[in-house]
């Protein structure tokens, strides 16, 4: 399929539950666990502990309705603002926060973090900690200079972004502009924790293919350096699954801070 015919996540919308079931669930036939679940959570946990990254406000701007990567984060930040590109994803996250019937089950994620924290039997406490930390779930629009307009958020101590820039950026120039808007949410000295998929050109959700910008590790590093961020930590993992749902070659995690 010609990439020009792929749908755009933030324009055409995406079925958030199909996305979660295909790439982030605990189902036996879900093959992406090493890359989409454990790699992001383990690296975020490591950086938060070893680099003493913490503060009052953390802003999360991530793909779809995912929240698993925030299980560790909630231990180190008093408030979390979650940004989503469409109403369907906001509803999915809100359903989980308020423990509504039919909410997506993230127990496998909270149990993994409980293990990392040495509290294997306390995954429910970790979920409650995260739910109480999420103070806002807001719609974001990267066409605006202030992506949360009309809401003006205070500058954050940390911004987390998982796989979002890949799907909302049609080319490298747009990727840089979108990254700059995320960095503007940070205080001087604040930290950016970024998850990316390398050499990916599409993802399939509910039988529909969505555009993903293809780039390599050097593109991410060069963009961060160009925009005034200093890279503190970098991790890379070769793809560990076989599936034609998507075509990335590796998953990458970068922790960086904004120069004061």
For 10-45, give the DSSP string. Answer: HHH---HHHHHHHHT---TT-TTIIIIIIHHHHHHH
215: left (phi over 0), alpha (psi -120 to 50) or beta: beta
Q: Do residues 258 and 229 lie in contact, with contact meaning Cβ atoms separated by under 8 Å?
A: yes
Nearest alpha carbon to residue 65 among 4, 98, 119, 23? 23
Q: Do residues 183 and 229 lie in contact, with contact meaning Cβ atoms separated by under 8 Å?
A: yes
pLDDT for the residue numbered 1? 39
What span, in angstroms and rounded, lies between the C-alpha atoms of 18 and 5?
A: 20
The runs of H, that is alpha helices, within the chain are: 9-12, 16-23, 39-50, 70-73, 87-97, 107-116, 123-133, 164-168, 172-183, 217-226
* Topology (CATH level 3) of domain 3-258: Rossmann fold (3.40.50)
Sort strands 202-205 and 156-162 into parallel, antiparallel or unpaired: unpaired
Q: Do residues 83 and 61 lie in contact, with contact meaning Cβ atoms separated by under 8 Å?
A: yes
pLDDT for the residue numbered 4? 54
Q: What is the pLDDT along the chain (260 residues), one digit of tens a residue?
A: 344 578 888 888 788 999 999 999 999 899 999 999 999 999 999 999 887 899 999 999 999 999 999 999 999 999 999 999 999 999 999 999 999 999 999 999 999 999 999 988 899 999 999 999 999 999 999 999 999 999 999 999 999 999 999 999 999 999 999 999 999 999 999 999 999 999 999 999 999 999 999 999 999 999 999 999 999 999 999 999 999 999 999 999 999 999 88
The C-alpha torsion from 181 through 74 and 225 to 223, rounded to 10°, is -50
Nearest alpha carbon to residue 172 among 216, 129, 142? 216
What span, in angstroms and rounded, lies between the C-alpha atoms of 115 and 205?
A: 30
pLDDT for the residue numbered 2? 42
Residue with tokens 């079925």: 15
What span, in angstroms and rounded, lies between the C-alpha atoms of 134 and 77?
A: 10
Q: Euclidean distance between the first and final Cα of the chain, in Å?
A: 45
Q: How many residues does the chain have?
A: 260
């Amino acid at each position: 399929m010609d990439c020009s015919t792929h749908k755009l996540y933030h324009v055409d919308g995406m079925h958030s539950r199909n996305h979660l079931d295909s790439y982030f669930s605990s189902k036996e036939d879900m093959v992406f666990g090493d890359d989409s679940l454990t790699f992001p959570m383990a690296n975020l946990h490591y950086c938060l502990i070893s680099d003493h990254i913490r503060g009052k406000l953390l802003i999360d701007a991530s793909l779809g309705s995912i929240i698993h990567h925030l299980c560790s984060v909630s231990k180190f930040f008093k408030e979390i603002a979650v940004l989503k590109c469409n109403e369907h994803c906001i509803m999915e996250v809100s359903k989980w926060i308020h423990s509504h019937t039919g909410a997506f089950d993230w127990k496998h994620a909270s149990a993994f973090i409980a293990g990392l924290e040495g509290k294997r039997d306390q995954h429910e406490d970790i979920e409650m900690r995260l739910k109480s930390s999420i103070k806002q779930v807001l719609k974001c629009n990267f066409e605006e200079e202030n992506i949360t307009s009309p809401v003006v958020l205070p500058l954050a101590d940390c911004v987390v972004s998982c796989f979002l820039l890949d799907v909302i950026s049609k080319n490298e120039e747009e990727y840089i502009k979108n990254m700059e808007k995320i960095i503007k949410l940070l205080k001087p000295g604040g930290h950016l924790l970024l998850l990316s998929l390398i050499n990916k050109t599409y993802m399939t959700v509910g039988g529909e293919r969505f555009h993903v910008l293809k780039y390599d590790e050097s593109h991410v590093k060069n963009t961060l350096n160009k925009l005034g961020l200093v890279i503190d930590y970098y991790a890379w993992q070769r793809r560990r699954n076989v599936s034609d749902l998507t075509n990335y070659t590796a998953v990458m995690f970068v922790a960086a801070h904004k120069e004061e």
